[in-house]
């Protein structure tokens, strides 16, 4: 099942303004999932003319320029394979995803924010191994104290996840917009068939 709020952009519907193309690596896997590798249509057209990508699929929409007419690509694949990153970017969304959108202290899934195990005021750094997902009440309760001093231990010791681990957690949290032509290249398609 796709998460609530996910819209499939149909050919007749109204896609986002940027008409994004899903960017695949030369092996036809998405270049990245978090964030999903998407290019604005102008960047896509430029890459097509620079001969850096193959067009895999298109929107039902033409673009015109003097002497040319072409359908806007909805999926492109790089001609040169790029080694995928092993580790995901350190972003707010990815920290939530690592922790499955769950407060690491009480298990709540509402009113989520972030908590530093070693408080920032005591030199704690904002990085994978010191930041956990926490609900606002737990965050407030802990305040600028050390988690271990007040018996608030996170359910999972925070650490940097691999891209593979985020993919596994991400099955339940697809992006808000997915064009139908992308689905063959994303693992969410198998979820749709269930």
Distance CA 19, CA 73 (A): 9
What is the smallest separation between the CB atom of 144 and Zn ion, expressed in angstroms? 17
- Regarding 132 and contact with Zn ion (CB under 5 A), the answer is no
Longest Cα–Cα distance in the chain: 70
- Regarding 152 and contact with Zn ion (CB under 5 A), the answer is no
For Zn ion, the binding residue among 9, 117, 138, 163 (CB under 5 A) is 138
Number of residues binding to Zn ion, judged by CB under 5 A: 6
Distance CA 54, CA 60 (A): 18
| DSSP conformation letters of 118-130 | S-GGGT--SSTTT
Asked if 188 and 26 count as a contact pair (C-beta separation under 8 A), the reply is no
Contact letters (x/-) for Zn ion, 29-68, by CB under 5 A? Answer: ----------------------------------------
The nearer residue to Zn ion, 146 or 177, going by C-beta atoms, is 146
The nearer residue to Zn ion, 38 or 103, going by C-beta atoms, is 103
| Residues between 90 and 119 with contacts to Zn ion, criterion CB under 5 A | 103, 105-106, 108
The nearer residue to Zn ion, 37 or 102, going by C-beta atoms, is 102
- Regarding 76 and contact with Zn ion (CB under 5 A), the answer is no
Neighbours of 194 (CB within 10 A): 5
Peptide bond just before 44 cis, omega within 30 deg: no
Instruction: Report helix, strand or coil for 28.
Output: coil
For Zn ion, the binding residue among 31, 132, 135, 178 (CB under 5 A) is 135
The nearer residue to Zn ion, 6 or 108, going by C-beta atoms, is 108
Q: Which strands sit side by side in the sheet containing 21-24, from one edge to the other?
A: 38-39, 21-24, 68-78, 53-65
What is the smallest separation between the CB atom of 113 and Zn ion, expressed in angstroms? 10
Residue whose C-alpha is closest to residue 85's, from 185, 164, 175: 164
The nearer residue to Zn ion, 89 or 106, going by C-beta atoms, is 106
- Regarding 140 and contact with Zn ion (CB under 5 A), the answer is no
Q: Show contacts of 148-152: CB within 8 Å, 24+ apart.
A: 152/105
The residue ranges that bind Zn ion (CB under 5 A) are 103, 105-106, 108, 135, 138
């Amino acid at each position: 099942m796709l998460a609530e709020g996910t819209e499939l952009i149909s050919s007749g519907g109204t896609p986002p303004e940027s008409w994004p193309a899903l960017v695949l690596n030369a092996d036809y896997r998405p270049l990245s999932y978090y964030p999903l590798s998407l290019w604005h249509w102008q960047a896509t057209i430029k890459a097509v003319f620079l001969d850096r990508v193959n067009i895999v699929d298109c929107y039902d929409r033409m673009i015109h320029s003097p002497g040319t007419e072409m359908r806007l690509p909805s999926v492109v694949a790089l001609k040169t394979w790029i080694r995928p990153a092993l580790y995901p970017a350190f972003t707010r969304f990815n920290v939530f995803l690592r922790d499955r959108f769950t407060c690491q202290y009480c298990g709540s899934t509402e009113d989520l924010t972030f908590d530093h195990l070693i408080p920032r005021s005591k030199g704690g750094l904002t990085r994978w191994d010191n930041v956990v997902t926490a609900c606002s009440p737990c965050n407030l309760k802990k305040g600028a104290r050390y988690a271990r001093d007040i018996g608030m231990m996170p359910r999972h010791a925070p650490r940097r996840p691999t891209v593979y681990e985020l993919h596994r957690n991400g099955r339940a949290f697809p992006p808000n917009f997915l064009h139908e032509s992308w689905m063959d290249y994303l693992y969410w398609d198998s979820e749709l068939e269930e």
